[in-house]
Amino acid sequence: MTKTILITGASSGYGKATAEHFLAGGWNVIAAMRRPDPSVFGGGFERLRVLQLDVTNDESIAALVEAAGPIDVLVNNAGVGGVGAFEAMPMSLVRQLIDTNTVGVMAMCHAFIPQMRVRRSGVLVNVTSSVTLASMPLAAAYTASKQAIEGFTGSLALELGHFGVQIKLVEPGYAPTTRFGENAIVPVSDLLPGGYADYAQPILQGFANPEVTTRESDVADAIWAAVHDASGQLHFPAGADAVALAQAS
């Protein structure tokens, strides 16, 4: 029987690449996004469904669960970015980061775990970031939103293992080709008051010209490996830079 995977944040970047990877692998794919647009995939996929989802809205999540029906795998990929000096970040921005990157992931797990527990099978994949593998400047609030999911996933893996349900972490490195910058709630230039601009300049130059980066296909490959893993491995760093950080930690 053909299996079904649901991927959040699937309109671009890692989510879109993962959807295409699993379609190529013969899976049924449900691509969830805030503004549903099947044209992003170019058409021609009989096993693709595109559904609306806002992970910060309980009614939207409930509607998705109803529309999606039974699934074998959930990939929590949807997220927003936030880079800048922490003291310049309004707490409303911090709350947005936590609401999407942390509570949104928890809410999606909460919504789909019951059907997996009853079947005693299924896989949940939470996509975090390489900021969880090493401390990085100008990313304090964003890191907190992702580190929370690392701890959440590790604990949940113990709970769900009793029911034959697996949960995995995929930790992508830095990928300038994704829409992370576009998904930032506030431009980084607005979050560098006072002397932070001088401090941030070489850091931002490093972001603009990284020595090693992560490709979208690296993340899709890591998610594929996580979904098919039978060894009990929890962490799957994705991309050469993330792998190097994981090995050094």
174 is catalytic: no
Angle between helices 140-161 and 104-119 (to 10 degrees): 10
| DSSP 3-state of 74 | strand
Contact 219, 18 (CB under 8 A): yes
Closest by Cα among 10, 16, 149, 26 to 68: 10
Largest Cα–Cα distance of the chain, in whole Å?
60
Local structure of 6: helix, strand or coil = strand
Instruction: Report the distance separating Cα 14 and Cα 127, nearest Å.
Output: 9
At 9, give phi and psi (nearest 5°).
60, 45
Q: Which of 5, 164, 154 is nearest to 75 (CA)?
A: 5
Distance CA 227, CA 48 (A): 18
Return the beta strands (E) in 3-159 as ranges: 4-8, 28-33, 48-52, 73-76, 123-127
Return the closest-CA partner of residue 31 out of 44, 111, 18. 18
Choose, from 14, 142, 174, 196, the residue flagged as catalytic: 142
- Of the chain, the end-to-end C-alpha distance in Å amounts to 40
Beta strand 4-8 with 73-76: parallel, antiparallel or unpaired?
A: parallel
Could you give the residue numbers annotated as active site?
A: 142
